[in-house]
Amino acid sequence: MKKERLTLAFFIDALGWRISREFRCFEELAPHAYRQRTILGYSCAAQPTILTGLPPSGHGHWAMFERSGRSELAPLVRFSVLPDTVGRHRRFRRRLLQWHRRRSGFTGYYNFYRIPFRLFREFDISEKRDIYAPGGFDGAVESIFDILERRGVPYRVWNWKTDLDTALGELSECLTGGAPVRFALLYTAVMDALLHEHVGDVDVVGAALEELEKKLSRVVELARGAYSEVDVLIFSDHGMARTTAEIDLMAAVDSLGLAPKRDYLAFYDSTMGRFWFESERVREEITKKLRAIECGRVLTDDDLRREGVWFDDRRYGELVFLMNPGTLVVPSYMGASAPRGMHGFTPEHEDSDAAIMSSKPLEPEPSTIADTFGAMVRSAGLEGAARGRPGGADG
Ligand SMILES: [Zn+2]
């Protein structure tokens, strides 16, 4: 006898609206496709929004690194004595990260990239706990996993810690044997990694999407054989823009001759610079310098509020300088060279848009990535279960 109902949610990082339409992917599995506005920021902001239905100012996660008076990364400052050839070496950084993950007990996603070690006294990780598990967020913020857990709904989830084929194998086993589940979410970063290097390369991207579609189709077929009703949701967090220009933002700010730390602090992400100032004079000087740079713009407080990334304590920056779509900060604390594609530009740009595709029409029609939360909640039969949301809505 078949099991009852199942929601299969496939979270495909960076499978933007534009690429999903260009390649007409997943049309058989999930023919109902909706364009979604993403949020300003990177996956570390967008994924929490999808899992909670809240903007970054609501769930608390915006950038991977936040200003902190008592950073738990402070012990790493001792590595700043290492010469750059060692301290910035990929293998060293990778080993350090593995060691740090074991030692710190942090289960969230983070990476040290090329961040200068001296900055770890001032900057801490915003995602310390696994957001793909209950209890991933601070305070009263609930993710879909908190709700599933609280309602006692059987579910499974695979996040970035499991590679795609292993996750699909485990999901297949779960579908055919074992106890029934009501909801399964599988996250994969395979398209994100591929698109960073190959966006615009029709053959490579097309072949990768075709392979992914085949893999997902096999799993859905298994699910349909085992469950009498299967909802398929395939969605992303953002798109990918082609890199068209680079700017050495660090050099531009350094040219002012100000003293980092004494005068200001800066964090250079791949598409934005975030600044904190020690005096009004320095704020004015840096702001003036940034305003003269044509390939980006200083975001106003209104911009930040409108995008849902306003934080009263300014832990993610007192001033944010955002590059125009296609222009990368190089070098940045994220990398020494520019990949072929990047995300993290204004959500207004069409390459930033994410997508959600569904086997059934979605009601109400999703228009932002925050609406993915509601789509998952409704499909899993959890309506009315989300706590403390305006008007009792589920997202
Ligand atoms: Zn990415």
Residues 248 and 228 in one domain: no
Question: What is the CA(190)–ligand 1 centre distance, in A?
Answer: 10
- Co-location of 294 and 321 in the same domain: yes
Q: Give pLDDT, residue 387.
A: 61
CB within 8 A of 186, min separation 6: which ones? Answer: 8, 9, 10, 11, 157, 158, 167, 168, 171
Q: What is the CATH number of the domain that holds 281?
A: 3.30.1360.180
Are the CB atoms for 349 and 240 separated by under 8 Å? no
Q: Does residue 395 fall inside a structural domain?
A: no
pLDDT (tens digit, 9 = 90+) per residue, 367-384? 999 999 999 999 999 988
47 & 187 share domain: yes
> Does residue 394 lie within any of the structural domains?
no
How far is the centre of ligand 1, averaged over its atoms, from the C-alpha of 191 (Å)? 9
Find the 193 Cα to ligand 1 centroid distance in Å.
6
Average the pLDDT over 130-149 and give the result.
96
Low-confidence winner among 34-38, 42-46, 355-359, 383-387 (lowest mean pLDDT): 383-387
Q: Is residue 328 part of a domain?
A: yes
pLDDT of residue 389: 55
Question: Does residue 153 have a pLDDT over 80?
Answer: yes
CA of 283 to the centre of ligand 1 (A): 31
Provide the CB-side half-sphere exposure for 31 (13 A, CA).
Answer: 2
Mean pLDDT for the chain? 94
Average the pLDDT over each of 213-217, 338-342, 387-391 and give the range with the smallest value: 387-391
The verdict on 48 and 146 lying in the same domain is: yes
% of the chain exceeding 90 in pLDDT: 88
Q: What is the mean pLDDT of residues 117-136?
A: 95
**346 pLDDT more than 80:** yes
pLDDT value of position 174: 95
Q: Is the pLDDT of residue 395 over 80?
A: no
Model pLDDT, residue 385: 66
Averaged pLDDT, 311-333: 97
Give distance in angstroms: CA of 208 to centre of ligand 1: 16
Rounded distance from Cα 19 to ligand 1 centre (Å): 15
Classify residue 8 by burial, with Cβ atoms within 10 Å: 0-12, 13-18, 19+.
Answer: buried
Asked if residue 343 belongs to a domain, the reply is no
- Ligand 1 centre to CA of 133 (Å) is 22
Asked whether residue 306 is assigned to any structural domain, the reply reads yes
Shared-domain flag, residues 233 and 380: yes
**How many residues would you count in the chain?**
395
**pLDDT for the residue 394:** 44
User: How remote is the CA of residue 385 from the centroid of ligand 1, in Å?
Assistant: 32
- The predicted pLDDT at position 57 comes to 97
* Arithmetic mean of pLDDT, 91-112: 92
pLDDT of 15 strictly over 50 = yes
User: With 60 as the cut, is the pLDDT of residue 198 above it?
Assistant: yes
Domain count of the fold of the chain = 3
Give 384 Cα–ligand 1 centroid separation in angstroms.
33
Closest by Cα among 161, 196, 211, 212 to 10 = 212
Mean pLDDT, residues 18-25 taken together: 96
- What digits encode the pLDDT tens for the residues 289-303? 999 999 999 999 999
Per-residue pLDDT for 390 more than 90? Answer: no
If you measure from the C-alpha of residue 359 to the centroid of ligand 1, how many angstroms do you get, rounded to a whole number?
A: 26
166 and 237, same domain (yes or no) = yes
Question: Which residues, including other chains, have CB under 8 Å from residue 238's CB and lie 6 or more apart?
Answer: 14, 16, 38, 42, 43, 46, 343, 344, 352, 353, 354, 369
CATH value at residue 144: 3.40.720.10
Residues 15 and 149 in one domain: yes
Residue 364 belongs to a domain: yes
Residue 381 lies inside a defined structural domain of this protein = yes
Domain end point (choices 93, 125, 157): 125
* Residues 313 and 194 reside in one and the same domain: no
Q: What is the structure's pLDDT at 388?
A: 54
C-alpha span between 326 and 295 (Å, rounded): 9
Does residue 19 fall inside a structural domain? Answer: yes
51 and 162 fall within a common domain: yes
- Please answer whether residues 13 and 233 qualify as being in contact, where contact means their C-beta atoms are separated by less than 8 angstroms: no
What number of other Cβ atoms are within 10 A of residue 265's Cβ?
18
One domain for residues 296 and 190: no
pLDDT surpassing 60 at residue 393: no
Both 153 and 278 in a single domain? no
CA of 43 to the centre of ligand 1 (A): 7
- Ligand 1 centroid–CA 126 distance in Å is 17
142 CA from centroid of ligand 1 (Å): 25
Domain that holds residue 217: 3-58+130-241+348-389
Choose the weakest-confidence range: 91-100, 211-220, 367-376.
91-100
The pLDDT confidence band at residue 3, using thresholds 50, 70 and 90, is: confident
Q: How far is the CA of 13 from the centre of ligand 1 (A)?
A: 7
Question: What DSSP character marks residue 141?
Answer: -
Distance 369 CA to ligand 1 centre (A): 16
Measured in Å, residue 196 CA sits from the centre of ligand 1 at: 6
Are residues 208 and 284 located together in one domain of the fold? no
